[in-house]
């Protein structure tokens, strides 16, 4: 006579809904805390990874950077370093005095400058607007021209910058040092919008 399978195996109880929710909550909280701990470690020892907070060597040569920026009519965005690289002409009147400490110059005489992507109002990431050729913050409408000079909105000054230099043809940006952006009154490079705005606040 064949054995009845229900007599061999104890009957499994369905997991109570409340118990399941409790364990799910504990698991999710644990994962969140683990993620927070990892972020905190990264913040405390930023130089270990060579990421934000360290000297960062851009992945393409300084000359290539300058060519790409000119061709795209857009800054070179480097999210790992939370920065935009922009070009400018060091020979423009007043530029060297105002921005000399911020920039590196390629062998071809093109100035490269690293702008911190964080809005100096309340810290949103400021996107690039291709049509106006400005940086326009979607949070409260601050605007900066293509060199990060303040042009409007509640931001108290221009975008902050990182010091940079060229070594062996590569641009190196020191993201561990934030240089305060130019005051509202120091719009040396003076660029007006070149088309429709992306943000209207
Ligand atoms: S955070 Fe950019 S305008 Fe407020």
**Which CATH superfamily includes the segment(s) 50-174?**
Rieske [2Fe-2S] iron-sulphur domain (2.102.10.10)
Residue ranges of alpha helices (H) inside 100-175 are none
The rounded percent of the chain whose pLDDT value lies above 70 is: 73
| Ligand 1: centre distance to CA 76 (Å) | 21
pLDDT score of 128: 98
Whose structure tokens read 């960062």?
A: 56
N-to-C CA span, the chain = 83
- Ligand 1 centre from 64 Cα, in Å? 32
Structure tokens at 182: 């130019």
User: Domain map of the chain by residue range?
Assistant: 50-174
Q: Among 6-15, 37-46, 82-91, 152-161, whose mean pLDDT is lowest?
A: 37-46
Query: What are the pLDDT digits (tens) for 61-94?
Result: 999 999 999 999 999 999 999 999 999 888 887 7
Band the pLDDT of 3: cuts 50, 70, 90: very low
Query: What are the start-end ranges of the E strands in the chain?
Result: 55-61, 76-78, 83-88, 103-105, 111-116, 128-129, 134-136, 143-144, 150-152, 161-162, 164-167, 170-174
Pocket residue to mutate for ligand 1, from 134, 135, 140, 152, most atoms within 8 A of Cβ: 140
Has residue 191 got a pLDDT over 70? yes
Nearest CA to ligand 1 atom 1: 122
């Amino acid at each position: 006579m064949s054995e009845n399978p229900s007599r061999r195996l104890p009957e499994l109880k369905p997991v109570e809904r409340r118990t399941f929710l409790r364990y799910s909550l504990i698991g999710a909280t644990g994962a969140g805390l683990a993620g927070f701990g990892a972020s905190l470690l990264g913040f405390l020892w930023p130089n270990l990874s060579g990421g934000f907070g360290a000297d960062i060597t851009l992945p393409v040569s300084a000359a290539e950077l300058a060519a790409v920026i000119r061709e795209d009519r857009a800054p070179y965005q480097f999210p790992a370093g939370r920065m935009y690289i922009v070009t400018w002409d060091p020979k423009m009147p007043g530029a060297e005095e105002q921005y000399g400490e911020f920039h590196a110059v390629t062998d071809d005489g093109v100035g490269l400058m690293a702008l911190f992507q964080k809005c100096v109002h309340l810290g949103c990431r400021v996107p690039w607007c291709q049509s106006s050729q400005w940086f326009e913050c979607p949070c409260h409408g601050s605007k900066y021209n293509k060199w990060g000079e303040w042009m409007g909105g509640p931001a108290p000054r221009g975008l902050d910058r990182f010091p940079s230099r060229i070594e062996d043809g590569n641009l190196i940006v020191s993201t561990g040092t934030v240089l305060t952006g130019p005051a509202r009154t120091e719009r040396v490079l003076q660029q007006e919008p070149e088309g429709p705005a992306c943000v209207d606040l």
